[in-house]
Amino acid sequence: MNETLRIIPKHIAVIMDGNGRWATRQGKPRFEGHRQGALTARQITEDCSELGVEHLTLYCLSSENWKRPEEELAFLMQLLRHYMIEERTTMMKNNIRLKIIGRRERIPDSALEEMDKTVKLTAANTGMTLHLAINYGSRAEIVGAVRRIVDNVLQQKLSPEKIDETLFSNYLDTSGTPDPDLLIRTSGELRLSNYLLWQLSYAEIWVASAYWPDFNRDLLLEAIDVFSKRQRRFGGVEIL
């Protein structure tokens, strides 16, 4: 597509699916897929920043992923810690700010410490915001928001009449962040997997057959080009 016709989404959300299957197809252990997936995440983050995307949200670890084998989970926690350390230089070079959404429970203290350091280090950056969804589940996020709203009502800090969609959004992990315009999912799967269920209400969805480790700039641009051609009516009708 002509660069002048390309509409860059303000916020792209990604379900990075297929690391394990990529490794299996290559005859490698699953952790090699996760290692390669982290390298892909670095490249796509830089690509999105360069293209002018304002927010990029990557689904790194779902709350359901704790069902995986202990050995794999231990590797993922180690990889998370190393990612937080190694990617600081990339984030600072590209003026990227890091934010984390999800629950802190079950994440090792060593990884949490490095996460907090990187968030603090990049807090003043003014370029793209990279949101990492770690130990995240959208249903739990929504239930947590409801509980906090109910608690505020019971404490008479909030009137029930004030509750609307905008207020509810402010109680979610993504408070202050615009909803995604485009959702990209890899590995050909056609489901949301408990990811940003509230926030993706009007997102355009694009699915790649490639596994996440094989995702690249060309596929990213293909997704953006498809997004550029879609009519976003938000429940209305196209005005001719």
CA atoms of 207 and 198, how far apart (whole Å):
19
Encoded tokens for 109: 């203290």
Q: Are 56 and 45 in contact (CB under 8 A)?
A: yes
Of 187, 189, 209, 205, whose CA–CA distance to 197 is shortest?
205
CA atoms of 61 and 28, how far apart (whole Å):
21
Q: Which one is catalytic: 47, 65, 94, 216?
A: 65
Catalytic residue flag (residue 152): no
Q: DSSP strand E in 86-177: where?
A: 97-101, 129-136
Which class for 133: exposed (0-12), middle (13-18), buried (19 or more C-beta within 10 A)?
A: buried
Give me the amino acid identity at 93.
K
CA atoms of 156 and 9, how far apart (whole Å):
39
Catalytic residue flag (residue 173): no
Handedness of CA 161, 102, 118, 186 (dihedral sign): negative
> Quick check: helix, strand or coil at residue 232?
coil
Catalytic residues: 17, 65
